[in-house]
Amino acid sequence: MCELFPLTGTNPNSCFCFVMSKYDEYRANAEECQKMARLATHSGEKVTWLQMAQDWLRMIPRPAQSASDRFDAAERKRGTGQTRSQAEH
């Protein structure tokens, strides 16, 4: 898919083309939903737009965590069981 955007400050008929990845499209769709939520006048509309934004973002796979990342996340969640030192080092 190719999106066309005018070049600012140049000939109005000039444009450039770039290909968006499907994940970039998902992010753009989510941003548009968030924009529509900000413009919504009824709370039900706002909730619907925000839910749609979350649904778009959920379609983007999360990068695989390294063993170190998983350890750090577990440590943050469970703690180390150690008390923080009050001594100056």
Domain ranges of the chain: 22-60
pTM above 0.85, yes or no: no
56: pLDDT strictly greater than 60: yes
pLDDT band at 15 (very low <50, low <70, confident <90, very high): low
Q: Which of 21, 20, 4 is nearest to 12 (CA)?
A: 4
**Scanning the structure block, which residue is given the tokens 């390294």?**
66
pLDDT above 80 (res 1): no
Run of H or E including 3: strand 2-6
pLDDT score for 26:
95
The reported pLDDT for the residue numbered 2 is: 44
Query: Does residue 53 surpass a pLDDT of 90?
Result: yes
Q: What is the per-residue pLDDT for 51?
A: 98
